Chains A and B, each alone.
Chain A
């Protein structure tokens, strides 16, 4: 139901110029029919996958990163569909399904911890840099001075946050060791996502709802034959073994990186008729907002870069060198030495084609069209609305992309550079 709502309520696709209303209606109808009969879950898997896959083009993301925010509920739905296939020729064993649901949940949380362990994340990372990067990128809930004061005050929480994150991500592995663990696992996972949301604006709302749904299921909805699952030793150890086998069944997400004090991001402005220029909010580009919120526009940048989305890197050498960087020259030298060039003329031309289609269709309209049902699903990455942002004041004639380097040091945010790197004419 969560996925059906999310997929059916995306904003009008201005790139294709299509609303795909009948697909949305069909999906909602199928989602309602799931309540009547479980077989409709199989129909919804195909529809959800087909509809979401439209956002692979033309800019990506492809593969796992397109699915990060919806992977947990989608994989559980997929598992349920396969369970129904098996039910067609084998004896029904609901406890097996519930067991694998909880194993899948455990693997989604445990595998990111493996990468964090490999990165020596607890001793090297500074999670306060994530909050600062999110602030620089637009997650501004407080005035800058107040925000930086709080970052400094809460600095001592860095290690406890890192350790508790690792523990919370590992907890689902032990859900079968005692039935009471369900009261610890699902609420703490949901609480961790709330914490991530407050710090960075990254809102795993689909994962939060799935955690609460699993809690409700384990607490109230488990059939009698599933009660044994929590009192058997073989399921407890079997869960650990299955999580280890996950890479052979489905590609587990390995979310782990260092948060750097240096930030390299891209801001977009639009030039309208008459020459007025407005900043373009990342969420304005919905339903492609994820591309812009994650700021993966490196293919437009001819220079080497050392950090990715929200100042993240997985290279410990870059992290340690950035910790010593004090000026623009230091950063540029570092970029030349250790940076990677992501520039791609092919992707840049696809970006141009995307913006031209998007704004050409938008310029024909008086207001930005949203979901046909009027209730857009919440974004995965949130940015508050800017007062002076573009909101259909005039037709867009040109889009300007700026590359910005920012350094957080001595409890101050310093903009090191701001260069125009790309322009797209809308015709």
Chain B
């Protein structure tokens, strides 16, 4: 959380500019990634007859690149990314939704 607080500027004029620059970049990146995976991550029909689609995708240089390049990019900064940067509450909510509610439902079912 301290890291987040240091990195995020308050919403003064420069904070707003930074916000909109980041938003534009994210929007453009989203559009480009959308198109890239639609263009390169669709395999020819015969590849889906193979036992593993993932391994089949690695056989074509274009689809392998479209699949692995984003993964390599993000994993190269693996240590700098973590759920904590989204705030403790995000992670807590995620776990609460999945596990607390899940176990509550399970307990109710078991009672029946």
Listed in ascending order, the chain A residues whose CB lies under 8 Å from chain B are: 1, 13, 16-18, 20, 22-23, 26, 35, 37-39, 42-43, 45-47, 49-51, 53-54, 56-58, 75, 78-79, 81-88, 90-97, 99-100, 104, 213, 216-217, 220-226, 228, 232, 234, 238, 242, 245, 248-250
Contacts and interface: CB of A to CB of B under 8 A. Distances in A.
Contact of B70 (A23, A42, A217): A42
A268 B48 CA distance: 26
A50 B43 contact: yes
Given A22-B52, A38-B83, A39-B74, A46 B66 contact: yes
Interface of B: 1, 4-5, 7-8, 11, 16, 18-20, 22-23, 25-31, 33-34, 37, 41-43, 45, 48-54, 57, 63, 66-67, 70-71, 73-78, 80-83, 85-87, 89-90, 92-98
Contact of A213 (B31, B57, B97): B97
Contacts, number: 186
B53 A51 contact: yes
B67 A86 contact: no
Interface-centre pick from A16, A75, A81, A93 (highest chain B CB count, 10 A)? A93
A213 to B, nearest CB: 7
- Dominant secondary structure of chain B at its interface with chain A: helix
Chain A interface, >50% SS class: helix
6 contacts: A18-B48, A20-B51, A85-B74, A87-B85, A238-B20, A249-B34
Contacts of B98: 1, 35
A93 B86 CA distance: 9
B22 A90 contact: yes
B23 A99 contact: yes
Contacts of A249: 27-28, 30-31, 34
Contacts of B23: 96, 99-100, 238, 242
A88 B22 CA distance: 13
A78 B70 CA distance: 11
B107 to A, nearest CB: 20
B49 A18 contact: yes
A23 B74 CA distance: 21
B97 A93 contact: no
Given A1-B98, A85-B74, A220 B89 contact: yes
Contacts of A96: 19, 22-23, 26
A93 B7 contact: yes
Given A35-B94, A99-B23, A217-B93, A54 B86 contact: no
